[in-house]
Amino acid sequence: MIQKVAAVVVPGVAPFELGVAYEVFGIDRRDTGGPSFDFTLCTPVPGPVMTKGGFPVVVDAGLEATEDADVVLVVAYGIEEDDDAAPAPMLDALRRAHERGAWLFAICSGAFALAHAGLLDGRRCTTHWMYTDRLAALVPTADVDAGVLFAEDGRILTSAGTGAGIDAALHLVRTELGADAARQVARRMVVPPQREGGQAQFVVDPLPREGESLAGLLAWMREHLGAEHSVPLLARRAAMSERTFARRFRQETGTTPAAWLARQRVARAQELLETTDASVDEVARLVGFGTAAVLRHHFARHLGTSPLAYRRRFACADDVAS
């Protein structure tokens, strides 16, 4: 379980992304049932740190704050110059944090610091869509996914640009503290606890014309996870050809109907495991996976754990029988 979060900033730090780090991890939300973290802002050379917006942020702590942090968060910074490597002491601190098993979380261009530290080799990762090709060229062995809001590989979490940092941060809260904690943080921030789709929807074709959006269909699918959702049936419900439906679905969600549906079913299963005493078989049936074996497969694939292990860790004691 995460408690201490150290957010590292360097000159050129992006103010919005810095605000995301503070908003999620720096506010004590215990008064409304949310979590509280030990949040520290740190930098290689303590003192005023100039932001990308041209105003300074005074940072008192040095990189020693990262030495015992559960999460070392790299805030986005300017990478306009060809030589955009982060300071060497910062790269060393990131490597040490990784070696001892801490979470490394990079928002937007913060992924480049992880890349220069040699921590993205062979890993799935992402960054702002404007920089994905550049990141892929910097780390040829990395699987840079330009279509997602965030990517997790081991205990390394990277996000796409700007607002996607919120999605990734809430994902980390949910992974470590459970869905209720993430919902409480999101509720105070007045944002959805889990946004749909990926950044692909922001970089491909223009937004669909009025009447073409699949928002209504997606809402219906979430409400009927136990029903059959084949592409022919969904296309018919959307009044589109199968080919047009498949193309539009990927444009709006960044993924395929099958992949989107599987993730929705996993999310609903997580909620049921946390808040009810339904058996794993019953949960599998309710969310549309059919059998416990299929549910276990998807939990292992998406969450790296089993339904029972997830329940033991995140079940709400007041709602679930022991």
Same domain, 164 and 68: yes
Residue that finishes a domain, picked among 189, 222, 253: 189
pLDDT of residue 17: 96
Average of per-residue pLDDT across 157-183:
91
Indicate if the pLDDT at residue 5 is higher than 70. yes
Indicate if the pLDDT at residue 229 is higher than 80. yes
Provide the token pair at 39: 């949040």
Which pTM value belongs to this model? 0.68
Which secondary-structure segment (H or E) carries 206?
none
Q: Give 124-164 as a 3 state SS string.
A: EECCCCCCHHHHHHHCCCCEECCCCCEEEECCEEEECCCCH
Q: Domain with 150 in it: what CATH number? A: 3.40.50.880
Same domain, 135 and 55: yes
Same domain, 176 and 208: no
Residue 199 covered by a domain: no
Average of per-residue pLDDT across 97-109:
97
Contact call for residues 197 and 143 (beta carbons, < 8 A): no
Residue that finishes a domain, picked among 189, 224, 245: 189
Residue 197 covered by a domain: no
pLDDT of residue 92: 97
Which secondary-structure segment (H or E) carries 110?
none
Q: Domain with 264 in it: what CATH number? A: 1.10.10.60
pLDDT tens-digit series, residues 242-273:
999 998 888 787 788 998 899 889 989 988 99
- Cβ within 8 Å of residue 281, ≥6 positions away: 291, 292
The residue segments making up the domain with residue 220 are: 204-322
pLDDT tens-digit series, residues 9-56:
999 999 999 999 999 999 999 998 899 999 999 999 999 999 999 999
